[in-house]
A = this chain, B = another copy of it.
Amino acid sequence: MNLCYAERTSSIKASEIRELLKLTEMPDIISFAGGLPAPELFPIEKLESITTRVLREDGRAALQYSTTEGYAPLREIIAKQRMPKARVKATLDNIMITSGSQQGLEFSAKIFINEGDVIICESPSYLGALNAFKAYQPKFVEIPMDDDGMIVTELEKALEENPKAKMIYTIPDFQNPSGKTMSIERRKRVAELAKIYNIPVIEDCPYGELTFEGEQYPSIKSFDEDGYVIYLGTFSKTFCPGLRIGWVCADIEILQKYIIVKQGADLQCSSIAQRETALYMQTYDLDEHIANIRSIYKTRRDVMLDSIEKYFPKDVIFTRPKGGLFTWVELREDLDAAIILKDALEEKVAYVPGSSFYANGDRANHFRLNYSCMNENLTLEGIKRLGSVLKKHY
């Protein structure tokens, strides 16, 4: 048997993270490789009582087919309760429910990208997005970042050089993988540039609410008056990923495209998961829950950064993220984090090597560390081990 696949299928490959997750799940490995939220914080008992209520009060509808755009009360509460956190005014007509924000990413490429079109993205960027986009055979133009996120003068240059670029993809808050956050000034400018260059911005915001210091920044979409910004939200990091509930918030006309694509893709999200998520937010205080997540992740970040400070070679560079789940480590330019990983695995500690986070895949001296799902003692021990592995190479 030698079937003839579509061209796009040859250019997509299994995500390194998810393949690695298998390796790093071996017992007694201290793995900083995943991107998992802390499961001990999932509101399991509350969800039990919510689910019981949904099934008793509305069981038939909860198990039946429903509309593609999603359960109206959930869209409503997202518009009224979650979007204002990002300083966005929206109504339920701007919201479509997706199977995680991953689905919003995939749909964005499907809606905007013809083969060969240019996607402008941060360097590095979320590899799950890059892989989803790659199926549509785009060209990537990578924009370097500094401590204030994507460098917008570089973005502007890229827009000038690529006047037909089809979308800008950005993760402005506590970026995966770099942990960096885009400044407010730059957010404003990105919104302006979108209008000037008539190009949509895909603003991917799984971590915005997980800020450890001060207020959540206003989203790029909050500076967007004309609908150029498509905001992707998700409950994966603020509630739980297992229900697979995320959303797209966009201009009504653009959203119509997402709805049509959703219809073809899987008809709709789980009717019951949508009701559970809505009823949870109607019954309990999600903000209080998020405050709890923040404070625990903040402690874990502190332990990780302090341990890095203490145990890593002095000239290793790393991000001091002000929220989110990740820090990003930069090694000396001649080192390859994928090769060092083998040594690390022998010492029973794991991370994700950085090269797959580069759209055009050409930088090897970085890796990503996750601190959200590891207790303080193990974090300390793991970083210590990693430090001695690194010191052998320095």
Is A77 an interface residue, CB under 8 A from the partner? no
Who on chain B is nearest to A17 by CB? B263
- With contacts A102-B267, A272-B242 known, is A5 near B257, CB below 8 A? yes
Residues of B within 8 A of A266 (CB): 98-100, 102-103, 106, 244, 266
Are A242 and B51 in contact, with the CB atoms below 8 A? Answer: no
Are A254 and B3 in contact, with the CB atoms below 8 A? Answer: yes
Q: How far is the CA of A50 from the CA of B175 in the complex (A)?
A: 38
Residues of B within 8 A of A36 (CB): 64-65
Are A6 and B110 in contact, with the CB atoms below 8 A? Answer: yes
- With contacts A1-B198, A1-B227, A47-B63 known, is A260 near B42, CB below 8 A? no
Is A132 an interface residue, CB under 8 A from the partner? yes
Is A56 an interface residue, CB under 8 A from the partner? yes
* Stretch among A7-15, A178-186, A361-369, A375-383 lining the B interface: A7-15
* Stretch among A111-119, A295-303, A384-392 lining the B interface: A111-119
Are B265 and A12 in contact, with the CB atoms below 8 A? Answer: no
Mask of A123-166 contacts with B, CB within 8 angstroms, 1/0: 00000100110111000000000000000000000000000001
Number of interface residues of A (CB under 8 A): 88
How many copies of this chain does one complex carry? 2
Who on chain B is nearest to A244 by CB? B270
Are A1 and B52 in contact, with the CB atoms below 8 A? Answer: no
Residues of B within 8 A of A4 (CB): 112, 166, 198
Is A261 an interface residue, CB under 8 A from the partner? yes
Which of A8, A40, A254 has its CB near the most chain B CB atoms (within 10 A)?
A8
Residues of B within 8 A of A3 (CB): 112, 198-200, 228, 254
Who on chain B is nearest to A107 by CB? B265
Q: A14-B260, A63-B242 are known contacts; what are 5 more A-B pairs with Cβ within 8 Å?
A: A4-B198, A6-B117, A14-B259, A99-B266, A131-B263
Q: Which 3 A-B pairs have the closest CB atoms?
A: A242-B271, A44-B59, A63-B240
Q: List 23 A-B contacts (CB under 8 A).
A: A1-B228, A2-B198, A3-B200, A6-B110, A6-B136, A8-B114, A9-B261, A12-B260, A14-B260, A36-B65, A37-B64, A42-B59, A44-B59, A44-B63, A45-B55, A48-B51, A63-B242, A65-B242, A100-B266, A131-B264, A243-B270, A244-B266, A244-B267
